[in-house]
Amino acid sequence: MAPSSEIYIETTETDPAVRAQVAIRALHQRLRIGLAAFTESEPVTGSQNVVHAALVDFCIGELRRHLAAADQTLHAAASGAAETRLLVRALRTTTAALDERIDALATTDDTISGTAMAQVIEAVLAVHLAAEETVLLPALAALPGADLPALATDLLTLLAGGQLDHPPVVDVREIPHGQRHPRIFARYARLAPGEGFVLVNNHDPKTLRREFEATHPGTHTWDYLESGPEIWQVRIGKAAVDA
């Protein structure tokens, strides 16, 4: 009989995937509350510049850090699966839109314009987080090979300023087929431009290559190091910035 600490009922609060979703939603709520503090209250006369500076710090700090960490963990794990690929593409589009508006906010000295920009950021973020909570998280919980509790732990690690493991070799031969691609895409998301890792497989990963071409067109590299008949090794890299 399994130890009691390992027993849980699926889809209840004892389910690790459910607890992971609750933890991620709590992070989302923190962002909502933090941004609302700047958009839903009138600054005290003479303090507009101070409030604007704090708003910029929040957006380029906590908000942007969360967006980057979510992309490296939640989005990366879902980007290689057919059922979530388009969703991730949409989420990355809203992330890019938020980044653009944060940049615009950081370069304006007009507090009135800054407040308007913050309201736009708040509106886009609301849609972005709602899509993660109502669609992405349940999909990851059901996606073969996507370990949502581990992804939530990785997300918290990045938000706390920690770093994730960066193994130079990812050997998937002993991993069940349905669990391979999410792990590979999550590893790819951790690469800096110009970096790479070696994938070891027991067959030619042509399907994986097509998925990379669909999800990362022109931004990845794919070089065969060994082509069978029993072992295939491929160096998968993230293209350099000037490539």
Below-50 pLDDT ranges, the chain: 1-10, 243
CATH architecture observed for domain 165-238: 2-Layer Sandwich (3.30)
Q: What is the DSSP letter of 3?
A: -
Q: Structure tokens of 172?
A: 């998937």
pLDDT at 2: 39
End-to-end CA distance of the chain: 55
pLDDT in tens, 143-156: 766 788 888 999 99
Q: State which H helix or E strand residue 199 sits in.
A: strand 196-201
Give the count of beta carbons closer than 10 Å to the beta carbon of residue 156. 16
pLDDT in tens, 188-215: 877 878 899 999 999 999 999 998 888 7
Residue type present at position 240: A
pLDDT at 145: 66
Contact between 87 and 181 (Cβ < 8 Å):
no
In whole angstroms, what is the distance from residue 196 CA to residue 209 CA?
15
In whole angstroms, what is the distance from residue 76 CA to residue 232 CA?
23
- Which distant-in-sequence residues (6+ apart) come within 8 Å of 174 by Cβ? none
pTM of the model: 0.73
pLDDT at 5: 42
Q: List C-alpha distances in Å: 9 to 20, 25, 30, 217, 219.
A: 14, 20, 28, 41, 42
Say which residue the tokens 């949409």 belong to: 90
pLDDT at 46: 55
In whole angstroms, what is the distance from residue 222 CA to residue 197 CA?
10
Domain residues of the chain, as ranges? 7-158, 165-238
Q: What is the DSSP letter of 221?
A: E
Max CA pair span of the chain: 74
Q: List C-alpha distances in Å: 115 to 33, 52, 133.
A: 16, 8, 26
pLDDT at 111: 81
pLDDT at 1: 36
In whole angstroms, what is the distance from residue 186 CA to residue 71 CA?
9
